[in-house]
Structure 1
Amino acid sequence: MTPIIELNRTGGRTAMNRAILGACAAAIVFVPVAASAHPGVVGLTHGFASGWTHPFSGMDHILAMIAVGLFAAHMGGRARWLVPLTFVSVLALAGVAGMAGVKLPFAEIGIAMSVIVLGLAVAFQLSVPTLVATFLVGFFAIFHGHAHGTEMPESMSGLTYGLGFVCATVLLHATGVGLGIAIGRTGPATGRQLAQVTGAAISFAAIALLILP
């Protein structure tokens, strides 16, 4: 692959990432404004605000989404955007299924296991093909998305609520990717040690959440 083609692809990925974050930022600014300007639209602001804050209401969700970003940063290349994008996409689909009343057994255990496994993947600097990584995070995203969907009160706007938690998820993934890149820039030895400590801390926190009342 020539440097020019690689540069174009990198630029395209950067532009896409900026577009996603820009769309979320615009939604945060304009959705509440639109709601207040149209009082007949009931629950619009409440739906988006609740969806936005919901991923931050559980430490297991926060840790998993940051771990996805850390894992993606370690993978590098196209995995930096493809792994988080897979998680967000499956999360949204599973959320719709949860809203529709589709049952998913052992959802809470699946969420806890996702944090443990992803934390270990970060700690051990797991290197797998990008396709395998996307399947891994996509599988765990099913549990997180289903939990978000089933916990949404019926009175809220499903569209704006979904937009809120998708944007919050993107922010958490971006935080993880940024942290992972920063860790990688500390040098091979230091970076590996920091990754091990961070990943282990995420896994141990998940275990504590699983066994403590």
Structure 2
Amino acid sequence: MNKLLSAGLAGLAVVTLALPAAAHTGHADGMGFLAGFLHPLGGLDHLLAMVAVGLWAAQTGGRALWMLPVAFVTMLTGGALAGMSGIEVPMVEAGIAASVAVLGLLVLLNKRVPVSAGMALVGVFAVFHGHAHGAEMPATAQPMLFGAGFILSTVLLHGAGIAAMAIGRGVARRSARPTAA
């Protein structure tokens, strides 16, 4: 089940690379928390990358279970502040696309790295995602509410990845048990 889930994530990552980064069309016309909360859900690239962080954290286990998502959210916030401030970050769209591909492959290959290296990697990717969220925040938005919305949404997407991995492992364990004769 774990391999099936991983293969599905990798397949979606490949499909996403062929699409424009859908969450970056200036569509966030809302002004507060709900608009911020919905922004990461509006693009497959954000969904896949943020769920992949949770999947990879759960695969890695130990301290990575919480440290990878915390690193992502921390750097996402920094990237968002840069985007809101008009600070340019080069190759944001390419960085977002790379995050989907790389994180998808890490999950597919069940690749474990030192926690600090994993934190650095997801942190770099988070800057791109955060910058996109911050730069696209509507001028009429309430920055604190909009930011709180996309941060909560991101945390929940990480949690969805962690939960999916836990469910997948539970199903795999149950299916591996010998049946009573």
Q: TM-score, normalised by structure 2?
A: 0.77
Within the candidate set 104, 122, 128, 1:143 is matched to 128
Matched, 1:89 2:62: no
Partner SS for 1:46: coil
Q: Which amino acid aligns with 1:131?
A: S
Contact 2:75 2:126 in 1 (8 A): yes
Within the candidate set 65, 68, 72, 2:50 is matched to 65
- % identical aligned pairs: 47
Matched, 1:176 2:161: yes
Matched, 1:158 2:143: yes
Residue-by-residue CA offset, 1:79-105 (whole Å, 9 max, x unaligned): 111100110110011101100000011
Distance 1:186 1:77 in 2: 21
Distance 1:174 1:139 in 2: 20
Runs of 5+ in structure 2 lacking a partner?
1-29, 177-181
Distance 1:181 1:127 in 2: 17
More helix, by proportion: 1
Contact 2:31 2:138 in 1 (8 A): no
Q: Which amino acid aligns with 2:81?
A: V
Partner SS for 1:121: helix
Q: TM-score, normalised by structure 1?
A: 0.66
Q: Which amino acid aligns with 1:168?
A: S
- 1:37 matched residue in structure 2: none
C-alpha RMSD of the superposition: 1.6
Larger relative contact order (CA 8 Å, sep ≥ 6): 2
Shift of 1:154: 1.3
Count residues in correspondence: 146
- Rg comparison, structure with higher value: 1
- 1:119 matched residue in structure 2: 104
Which aligned segments of 4 or more residues in structure 1 are displaced greater than 4 angstroms?
Answer: none
Q: Which amino acid aligns with 1:173?
A: H
Runs of 5+ in structure 1 lacking a partner?
1-44, 192-213
Distance 1:123 1:186 in 2: 18
Partner SS for 2:89: coil
